[in-house]
């Protein structure tokens, strides 16, 4: 018997929960009341891993090669974002592991699974634009993933919500840099 609410109270057959906890230990954190499809979750999370790797590499490249009068402060921003993207990748990889899967870090497959593309840009403004484009892509993708996981996998949903908040901050940073370097606000308030 699964937990249910009756008249505003949470009830559960604790003996049944204890019995199920002892069964199928090889499934680790995935218990019978996991509401999603584990294989689909792992596939989607591996796509997110790929996106984060591509973004991390693009930001790192930009942090190394950016030039120009104001490039030093932009390089620092690019490097911080690269570190954030690496952390996101590690969080997603760990979640895949918790679900009993293996994170796919194969370089030959990463770019094919990543929603954002690896575009270097020809100058500082192009680099900023490419990073803003990539952030906008992951923001839209992660919002869709949050709706997909919804109540079926709240742990994954909350993780993606955490990453999304940082990606929105990155997009805002890139927008601010673009305004600073092009001189015209793009967002209308």
Residues 1 and 77 in one domain: no
188 falls within a domain: no
Residues 29 and 82 in one domain: no
* Domain range enclosing 7: 1-33
Q: How high does pLDDT run on average in the chain?
A: 91
Residues 102 and 46 in one domain: yes
Cα gap 27→104, rounded to integer Å? 20
- What pLDDT, on the 0 to 100 scale, is given for residue 5? 54
Specify whether the CB–CB gap between 83 and 140 falls below 8 A.
no
Please give the model's pTM, rounded to 2 decimal places. 0.88
Residues 151 and 101 in one domain: yes
* pLDDT, tens digit, 9 for 90 and up, residues 71-105: 888 999 999 999 999 999 999 999 999 999 999 99
Inform me whether the pLDDT recorded for 181 exceeds 90.
no
56 falls within a domain: yes
Instruction: Tell me how many domains the chain contains.
Output: 2
Specify whether the CB–CB gap between 116 and 55 falls below 8 A.
yes
Residues 105 and 148 in one domain: yes
């Amino acid at each position: 018997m699964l937990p249910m609410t009756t008249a505003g109270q949470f009830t559960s057959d604790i003996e049944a929960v204890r019995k199920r906890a002892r069964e199928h230990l090889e499934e680790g954190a995935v218990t019978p009341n996991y509401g999603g499809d584990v294989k689909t979750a792992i596939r989607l999370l591996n796509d997110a891993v790929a996106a984060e790797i591509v973004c991390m590499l693009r930001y790192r490249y930009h942090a190394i090669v950016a030039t120009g009068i104001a490039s030093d402060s932009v390089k620092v921003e690019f490097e911080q974002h690269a570190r954030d993207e690496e952390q996101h990748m590690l969080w997603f990889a760990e979640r895949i592991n918790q679900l009993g899967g293996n994170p796919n870090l194969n370089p030959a497959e990463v770019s094919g699974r990543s929603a954002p593309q690896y575009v270097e840009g020809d100058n500082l403004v192009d680099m900023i634009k490419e990073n803003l484009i990539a952030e906008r892509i992951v923001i839209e993708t992660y919002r869709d993933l949050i709706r997909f996981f919804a109540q079926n996998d709240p742990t994954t949903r909350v993780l993606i919500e955490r990453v999304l908040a940082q990606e929105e901050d990155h997009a805002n940073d890139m927008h601010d840099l673009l305004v600073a370097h092009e001189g015209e606000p793009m967002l209308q308030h």
